[in-house]
Amino acid sequence: MKKNPCPVLVVLMLLAIYSHKPGFGQQSTALKNSVFILSADSALSLAKSVKMSNPDSAIKILQHHFPTSEIPKSITWQKNDIMASAFIDLGKYDSAMYYATENLNFYANINQEANSYIMLGNAHGYVPGGNAKSLEYYLKAADVCKVSKDSIALYRTYVNLGALYNELGTPEKGAAYVLEANKFFNKKGILLGLAHSQSSLGRMYNVMEGYDEALNYEFAALKSFKALGHHQGVISTYINIGNNLAMKKGHEQKLLYLDSALTLNNNTLKSKYFTEICKINIATSLLALKRFAECDAVTDSALTALQNRKNSKRYGRLLSTKAKVNIALNRTDTAKYYLEKALEIANNCNDFQGGYIVYKYYRTLYEKQGEYKIALDYYIKAVEIDKNLRSAEKDRDVKNLAIVYETEKKNQTITYQEQELKNIDLINSLLIIGILLVIIIFVTVFVYQRKVHKRKAEAEQNRKEKEIARYKLQVVNNQISPHFTFNAVNSLKGLIAGEKKEAALEAFSRFSKLINATLTASDSFTNTIEQELKFIDLFLDFRKFRYEDKFEYKINVADDVDKNFVILRLSVQELVDDNGIGREKAKKLHTSGTGKGAYIQNMMNNILNTNNPRGCDISYIDLYNEDGSASGTKSILRVPIGYKYEL
């Protein structure tokens, strides 16, 4: 439950009221420190409520409660926000800009950043020549709101943009913004926002001379403000409705609405500002209706209300109205008095429009007296001022249009650059997607080809393994072929039958060694040169024994031969078996080898050569004697050093 802030409010208000008195700085420490009884949130709330009626007191409360900047960022931002708003109300726009600018360094979130830009736009809008900056800040606020998706702040900004474009002489641009705001507030049921947007649209259509449309929006705004009990909005709308009616020559109706505005103000706000505005407008309408006596009385009342601002443009214009009434009532001297005072104020305030009105009324005065020469002089002065005013107005319009043009140009440039960035992002995205697709396709093809290659390699490996297995069988089969074995067994049988026991035993021993050598190496398809030569020696020795020494053989091995060098099994034996006596001599004797050894050798070489940079090969050279007779065959087996017998 919140504490009652009323006792503290008394202390704070005493600080605000009496701080200017001599000796206030020497007040008791207890009084000074009593400010800090409030929490930060309570002090901010109090300052906000006081600001509505007394912005100066709100500033003093904040300055005393937060004397240093050593406070949380969010508190600093809220304090600066109230300070900026209060200084705007006091007309101290430089100070307002300072605090609003400071807030850009303290905002805790993006929504507060937007509010700071709105405040800066408001402050610059009151400074002469500040419309360009004001427009810049409002547009920044709109951009920030779009990013933050703070729709309420965005449409508040739209209402401000509408009012500013209206002031810049392009109400049609402003109307587009405010119409968006109006639709939003209506859809969301935000009655206060709706009322302000409707009122803004009414003012804009008034400038565009669409008085019927303006009245429609003003009446809608009046209904919304009444529903809210928003007295300030109701009073302001009454005045706006009256002015729209006056443009349609409805001065009598205007007086009714102005009277309602004045009565409501006297009963509620008691605002001096609204009192002045209402009385000045009533006087203007009474003058238009030629109700001079009533106009004279209302003008006196308005002049009394403006006693504290006797040197203001508004006071000078009211004196001109007073003079006009006296001219109509034939009070010539009194009229001259008020015209002199009005002209003096116009000159002091550089109020050229006020000077134009004074000279115009002087002309009317002297024409009425029949002094046409003097009337002509004043008419010439009025025309000269009017020319200058029109020229100044044109210059102002040109400047305002230049502001709008430059702003639009910047916006178009920004929009173009944003679109370019979007296009670049799109191109980059498409490029990245394209690259990714190419990579995916490449990887897919690569993986697929690798799988295909792997399958082929596996198939080839299986084929080679099958070939090797078959080769091993063929090697064993070829080393001891069925035909050779059958002949060997028959030879043994013959020796046994002939009771040549010793020869049979010798033959059987040699045959056993040959079989043992064959079977022992059957798991491998390679031999060292030494192993291959031993087998060949056993093979030839058995054959020599079988054929009862009918042929001789000799194996010569060079001293530099590496007997541990690995070669294929059968590679040398088959050369001996197929071409032992030479190819030419074999033809004459009508003998020939089986050729299986050479076929097996070539088959294995073809398989193994695929895994070696240089392959094995066999070549044959027929040898001849000096008389031209065949003497044998030279077989050359070439095996590269480092040859791999791997699949």
- The pLDDT tens digits for 436-470 are 999 999 999 999 998 998 888 888 778 777 777 76
Burial of 361 (0-12, 13-18, 19+ CB in 10 A): buried
Please check whether residue 354 is in contact with residue 316, taking contact to mean a CB–CB distance below 8 angstroms. Answer: yes
What pLDDT, on a 0 to 100 scale, did the predictor assign at position 483?
61
User: Residue 143 CA to chain centroid, in angstroms?
Assistant: 14
- 276-313 residues labelled b (16+ CB within 10 A) or e (exposed): bbbbbbbbbbbbeeebbebbbebbeebbebbeeeeeeb
Q: What is the pLDDT of residue 587?
A: 56
Specify whether the CB–CB gap between 262 and 220 falls below 8 A. no
Q: Is the four-CA dihedral 85, 87, 92, 93 of positive or negative sign?
A: negative
Q: Which two tokens stand for residue 365?
A: 């005065």
What would the two tokens of residue 61 be?
Answer: 């409360």
Q: Where are the domains of the chain?
A: 467-608
Give mean pLDDT in consecutive 10-residue pieces for the chain, a chain of 647 residues. 36 36 36 48 81 80 72 78 84 84 74 84 82 90 89 91 88 90 90 90 90 94 94 94 91 95 94 90 94 95 85 90 95 95 93 93 94 93 90 74 73 78 88 92 91 86 75 62 70 73 76 76 76 83 75 84 83 69 53 58 76 83 82 84 78
- CA-to-CA distance for 359 and 374, rounded, in angstroms? 11
3-state SS class at 5: coil
> What's the one-letter identity of residue 360?
K
Best CA proximity match to 525, nearest among 480, 563, 474: 474
Q: What pLDDT sits at residue 12? A: 36
pLDDT at 328: 94
Pairing of strands 617-624, 630-638: antiparallel
Instruction: State the pLDDT at residue 444.
Output: 92
All residues at 6 or more sequence positions from 22 whose CB lies less than 8 Å from its CB, including other chains = none
pTM given for the model: 0.55
pLDDT at residue number 226: 95
| CA nearest to 461, candidates 2, 207, 420, 469 | 469
Q: What is the 3-state secondary structure (H, E, C) of 281-323?
A: HHHHHHHHCCCHHHHHHHHHHHHHHCHHHCCCHHHHHHHHHHH
Whether 157 contacts 114, CB under 8 Å: yes
pLDDT at 67: 67
Q: Residue 2 has what DSSP assignment?
A: P
CA pair distance 563, 493, nearest whole angstrom: 37
- Residues constituting the chain: 647
Tokens describing residue 201: 């649209």
pLDDT value for 26: 36
> Which residues fall within 8 angstroms of residue 282, CB to CB, at 6 or more apart?
255, 258, 259, 262, 298
